[in-house]
Structures are given as C-alpha cells and as structure tokens.
Amino acid sequence: MAKVKVEPTDILSLFGAPSEVLPSVPLDVSHLTARNGHAGHAVYGDVRGVDLTGKQKLVLLCGDNRNGKTFLARWLSEQALLRDDGNPPVLLALDDKRDLCKFVGENAVAFPPPGTASGPWFEQVLNALEKTGRSAIGDFGGGDHILLDLAREVPRLHSALAGRGITPVVLYFLSGRVSDLTLATALEGLGFKPEACALVLNCAQVSNPARDFEQIRHQPEYRALLERGAIELWMPKHFAAAAVEGRRLGFAAADGRLGGFDDGRNAAWLLAMQEAMAPISSWLP
C-alpha cells in the first residue's frame, strides 16, 4: 500500500486541534496572592483547643524580645474592651520596659512597683486573682525567669494553678529562630504542661513564613509540643503596624483614621486576626 504523503505544514492534522489533545493545566498563583506569605496553613491535630468558656484564665505570653507578645496583648485587651461584658481581664506587664502601658495607659496595666522583684510580686497577683475570680493577661519580658523559677519550685505548676480555680493558658511566640524554643522546652521539662498551649508563629518576623518557619517546625521539641496537644497558630503580619503605633491608637480605634491605603491594611489585618485566633477563641479573656 502506498504511503500517504503529508506535508510538513499539515502534520497537526494527524492529531487534531492542539486544544483537543493537550491537557488543561491549572494555573497556580497562590505563591503570589497568599496573604502574608502563607496560604491557609492547617492547624496540626485538632483544629480547636480545649473549650475554656466561662473559666477564669491566666494567659501567659512568653518568648524572646520582639517576638510579638506585647503586640498580641494590645489586641487581646482591645477585644476585651469591645466585648464590654463588665469583667475585663487584668493586664500584667512583667517587663521593666512596660511597652504595653504606652498603648492602653499606665493606669490600665499592673506592674511591679519600683524596687520590687517581679517573682514575688507575680505570686501576690496570683493570690489576688484567686480571690477576685478575674482573668488576666501576663506580658512577660524576653528571657524572663519568673515562670521558670516558679515551675522549678512548684511541681506541675499548671495543676497547682488549676487547683486554685485559675486555668493557665500559655502562648509561646516564635520568630523562626530555633533558639526561640528554649523557654518552651525548659518549661515542659520542668513539668509545666498546660492543656491550653499554643505555638504562635509570628509572620511579621520573617520574609517568607512557609520557608522561614520550616526549620523550627521540624525540630523534635516543636513536634513533641504538637503531639502532646499544643495548637499551632500563624499570627498575620500587620502591614500598617507602624502607622497604628505611631499614633498610639488601638487597632479598632485606628479604623478610618490612618489615611491612604493603611486603613485598608488595618481592616484586613483585623479580619485576619479573628481567623488566626479562632482555634483558641475560648482561651482568650
């Protein structure tokens, strides 16, 4: 049988139109559009922490300097005021710099009087909280040894607090440095293991969260915390943080007062924070 001669220009006619034979390829642009450099990271294990609704809580914000503790304390205190339920949490500043006072007012924050050691003062506060039944938020200084000393002296400190009606909530703030796990690892080793425990990955501290948190998230100490029930949270970067801080405003109070695109940035961050903190909403006073 004679072969059919096909001209080079007609070669595609043997296979049909290209659109019919080539598979469609989904176009992934998530790396360009993901908010704050990460997109929808799943919470490890249970998507929500233990339910602490209605309990007296002691929220302990722990971690190195500039890892976001005071930043979150400002947001938490503002959220409590917005709820206006008549029982706002006590704000405790255990850092000598007392940056929290600059934003919520010195009269709204309790801190050790001059010349008073933070450790004994903190114990006095705990005794007062037990009597009043009020929840509290403690903003600890970077490298602070108050909790370490107390956990060393009081075995199973979390159980001792719970026995006094105070439910401890510990949030460890991480910037991506492996050394940020030091405090959490030390406290766990001393037996301080509150059921309400979260690892807060502060996206403001890194340029590419998915990449820059990869090493710390694979550390054995980090995985051990998750496996025992800790919740992993990604705290979104606030792209207008400097504008808010420069005006000494609350995040909600800054709405519509920043000007330019910063109003939109602030509004977007407020929504992102509600989403990011949703898994531990019942932990927050």
Half-sphere exposure of 10 (CA within 13 A, CB side): 5
Strands 136-140 and 196-202: unpaired
Task: Provide mean pLDDT across the span 261-265.
Answer: 97
- The pLDDT, as a whole number, for residue 16 is 57
Confidence tier at 217 by pLDDT (50, 70, 90):
very high
Closest CA to 98 of 87, 113, 115, 88: 113
Domains of the chain are 45-283 (3.40.50.300)
Q: What is the pLDDT of residues 156-182, one digit of tens each?
A: 999 999 999 999 999 999 998 999 999
- The pLDDT, as a whole number, for residue 235 is 96
Half-sphere exposure of 196 (CA within 13 A, CB side): 26
Please give the model's pTM, rounded to 2 decimal places.
0.86
Q: What is the pLDDT of residues 72-125, one digit of tens each?
A: 999 999 998 888 777 889 999 887 666 787 788 777 888 888 888 889 999 999
C-alpha to C-alpha distance for 182 and 172, rounded to whole angstroms = 10
